[in-house]
Amino acid sequence: MNDVWKKPPIPLKEYQDLVGHEVGVSSWYLIDQSRIDVYAGVVEDHQFIHTNPERAKKETPFGGTIAHGFLTMSLVSVMSYDVMPPIERAEVAINYGFDRLRFISPVRAGSRVRGHFTLVEANLRKPRELLSSVSISVEIEGETKPALVADWITLIYLA
């Protein structure tokens, strides 16, 4: 499972000992108009607030286009690879869902974002199933309020 992770695997017990602690902060990721446009094409959401800079500048309070909230949320995966350590014996990790996902502030085109990760829970549901919950706050460079906050739940299957 270590093909995308930037940290070496750690034992399960060491991972569980991280509960209640901030695990780390990711690298910065640029949300430019090109990324927004590609995302709009993939999800077929071409609302002008995302894809038309001139109109968004004139008709919105944002001063230009903003990223889709779900685009920002989707970057949480790549941000986690920067920060979260993989677990030894983990075969695969799958998204289980989000609790309390909130989009707090819009991410303007041209902004950079990064994720702050705190491990909240890491409990074995079955001998080979770990339910992990991570509190996430996605910071916008130069802004006081985050882009989003959420509790991200992942189901990790162990060998």
Q: What is the pLDDT along the chain (159 residues), one digit of tens a residue?
A: 667 888 899 999 999 999 999 999 999 999 999 999 999 999 999 999 999 999 999 999 999 999 999 999 999 999 999 999 999 999 999 999 999 999 999 999 999 999 999 999 999 999 999 999 999 999 999 999 999 999 999 999 999
Q: What is the distance between the alpha carbons of residues 134 and 116, in angstroms, rounded to a whole number?
A: 10
pLDDT at res. 125: 95
pLDDT at res. 2: 61
Enter the DSSP assignment of 61. T
Q: What is the distance between the alpha carbons of residues 100 and 152, in angstroms, rounded to a whole number?
A: 9
pLDDT at res. 6: 86
Q: What is the distance between the alpha carbons of residues 120 and 71, in angstroms, rounded to a whole number?
A: 24
Cβ–Cβ under 8 Å, residues 57 and 64: yes
pLDDT at res. 5: 86
Write down all domains in the chain, each with its CATH number in brackets: 12-30+71-158 (3.10.129.10)
Measured CA to CA in angstroms, residue 22 lies from 91, 118, 139, 152 at distances of: 24, 4, 14, 14
In 3D, which of 95, 115, 93, 107 has the Cα closest to residue 15? 93
pLDDT at res. 47: 97
pLDDT at res. 60: 97
**CA 53 to centroid of chain Cα atoms:** 25
Residue 6 three-state SS: coil
